[in-house]
Amino acid sequence: MKLVSKIRRVVFSPLALIMAAVIILSGVPVNHVSAASSVTVKLGSNKSVSLKKGTKKQIIAKKGSKTLGKKAVKYSSSKSSVASVSATGLITAKKAGTAKITVKKGSKKSVITVKVTSKSDDDDDDDDDDDDDKKITGIYLTESEIRLKVGFSKELSCKTAPNNKVTKASWDVEDESVAVYENGKVVAKSVGETIIYARAYGKVTACKVIVYE
């Protein structure tokens, strides 16, 4: 909950919104962030992922429908020389091989088997993707706040800055009893407020959702 409160303060403060708008509209570069996709794992279940050497992947831990804060979970790697994991759940693929990443909270845990492969020098498509990734300085949502009547929906997309292109993202909803994110849309389920988070390229952004009758 501390992480959620912190993100709320950063994302929804008027100053933060103004600064974000200035960066997007002016194209002013911000600190470069290496691209990192994400893997969602529910505590109690296991997963397997494949990564190329030098790439990263952010772990998103869930307990039921609730997304857990990064620091509320403990992470460890069986072979850090192959794939290491930070205190906030960021996996870094170091060399070819297999490592097991343990995600634990209390008595509940999950194991992510990470297979790391060497990056092919002649993989032209991946090289093109890497060039595009290097140009990305941040992400943002097409809406910062959405108001919906119960039963209605609204499209919501994640875009990259400064090229303003729609990008794939990992989506999480703080309270799925209020609203859910399905097929590119926010769907209002019951009266209340919630936050929808999108994660891509090692960044996180959010949209506040208010549902009324």
Answer yes or no: is 187 within a domain: yes
Per-position DSSP letters for 38-91, written without gaps between them: EEEEETT--EEEEEETT-EEEEEEEETTEEPPGGGSEEEES-TTTEEE-TT-EE
Q: How do strand 170-173 and strand 192-200 relate by DSSP bridges?
A: antiparallel
Residue 58, domain extent = 37-115
Two structure tokens written together for 176: 């799925």
**45-93 confidence digits (pLDDT tens):** 888 888 888 888 888 888 877 888 767 889 999 999 999 998 888 899 9
Whole-angstrom Cα distance, residue 118 to residue 116?
7
**100-127 confidence digits (pLDDT tens):** 999 998 888 899 999 999 865 334 444 4
The CATH number assigned to the domain holding 151 equals 2.60.40.1080
Clarify whether residues 170 and 205 are in a common domain: yes
CB 179 within 8 A of CB 147: no
Specify the higher pLDDT residue, 36 or 169. 169
Entry field: residues in the chain: 213
